[in-house]
Amino acid sequence: MSDFTSNFWAIYVAAITVVSMLACLLLLWFSGKARAMTANDNSTGHVWDGDLREMNNPLPRWWVWLFVITVVFGFAYLALYPGLGKSTGQLGWTAVGQYEAEVKKANLAEAPLYAKFTAMAPEAVAKDPQAHAIGERLFMNNCSQCHGSDARGSKGFPNLTDGDWLHGGAPDKIKETLTLGRIGQMPPMAAAVGTPEDVKNVANYVLSLSASPHDSVRAALGKSKFTACAACHGADGKGNQALGAPNLSDNIWLHGYGETAIINMVNNGKVNQMPAQAEKLTEAQIHVLASYVWSLSHP
């Protein structure tokens, strides 16, 4: 992949661009100088439909100059803006820079409104109709892609409308999650649990914790092997929010339900990531968004 990160491709594309534009000018010049073999009536001799003849008239001057102006404009554009390989242009314009400038301008315009909400407690912000509407739009633009427009999530993406929280559902914890993001990691535990039969027994024991359908004999055998999992999920399987370890006794399954799903989790582990929003949203916006998310489970 080194060929795609070297300067070669930037130079290659820049060279093709410049040569193509110069070729357009040369083509205009040569076409203006060239003289085609014509008949006495200034036609090329090509006739269609009996009387439709191709004439050898030159291009109108205004048309030629339009082509020339277009090429000159192209060179001027490439000199001022990025377009020739890695050149940033004389103006130093970038799409990222323009985007950041527009975001900064919008944030400054909205600062007085957000200042009002920042001074309020999250519970009060959640009750404010205007703040709730703003929080909903922030959620739709930044969170709904994973958690769904109704915030009920899907397989691998937590439901934000119930009372089950991996890292805690208090407003400050939600704000912390939004700001810093989260990385949830369940390591493969098959080697620590034992044989494939032991893994299956543990899976049935885990199902028994939430009174889900299970094999009671296997569950009894798997209880002693669950000690390999207790370090994170607790001896009673109720999880640990400090570690982000799920509660296994509440019958809420983030990555799938049933014996097969649990066996796959024990054998293969799982890594989940909640991206940090601090680079996209201001602190005030995160405050409003966190209050909105908190309100979803506290109607």
Task: Tell me the Cα Rg of the chain.
Answer: 33
Position 87 in a domain: no
Query: Are 254 and 284 in the same domain?
Result: no
- CATH number of domain containing 176: 1.10.760.10
Q: Show Cβ contacts of residue 249 under 8 Å, excluding neighbours closer than 6 positions.
A: 209, 210, 236, 237, 238
Of 275, 1, 241, 286, which is closest to residue 131 (Cα–Cα)? 286
Indicate yes or no: pTM above 0.85.
no
DSSP-based three-state secondary structure for 46 = strand
- Please report the pLDDT score of residue 1 as a whole number: 45
Domain span holding position 145: 101-181+275-296
Tokens of 231: 């370090």
Query: Are 145 and 172 in the same domain?
Result: yes
From CA 115, how far away is CA 80, in angstroms rounded? Answer: 39
Position 46 in a domain: yes
- Please report the pLDDT score of residue 251 as a whole number: 87
Query: Are 123 and 146 in the same domain?
Result: yes
CA angle 286, 292, 293 (to 5 degrees): 85
- Please report the pLDDT score of residue 8 as a whole number: 85
- Please report the pLDDT score of residue 58 as a whole number: 75
Position 209 in a domain: yes
Position 85 in a domain: no
Query: Are 145 and 170 in the same domain?
Result: yes
Domains identified in the chain, total number: 3
**Residue 158 near residue 254, CB atoms below 8 Å:** yes
Query: Are 206 and 236 in the same domain?
Result: yes
CA angle 232, 235, 239 (to 5 degrees): 45
Longest dimension (CA), the chain: 106
- Please report the pLDDT score of residue 124 as a whole number: 95
Query: Are 15 and 49 in the same domain?
Result: yes
From CA 220, how far away is CA 114, in angstroms rounded? Answer: 55
Of 212, 238, 209, 239, which is closest to residue 222 (Cα–Cα)? 209
From CA 179, how far away is CA 228, in angstroms rounded? Answer: 32
Query: Are 167 and 288 in the same domain?
Result: yes
Residues 172-216 have pLDDT tens digits of 999 999 999 999 999 999 999 999 999 999 999 999 999 999 999
Q: What's at 209, amino acid-wise?
A: L
Query: Are 137 and 284 in the same domain?
Result: yes
pLDDT in tens, the chain (299 residues): 455 567 888 888 889 999 999 999 998 888 877 766 666 777 777 788 877 877 777 778 898 899 999 999 999 999 999 988 888 889 989 999 999 999 899 989 989 989 999 999 999 999 999 999 999 999 999 999 999 999 999 999 999 999 899 999 999 999 999 999 999 999 999 999 999 999 999 999 999 999 999 999 999 999 999 999 999 999 999 999 999 999 999 989 999 999 999 999 999 999 999 999 999 999 999 999 999 999 999 98
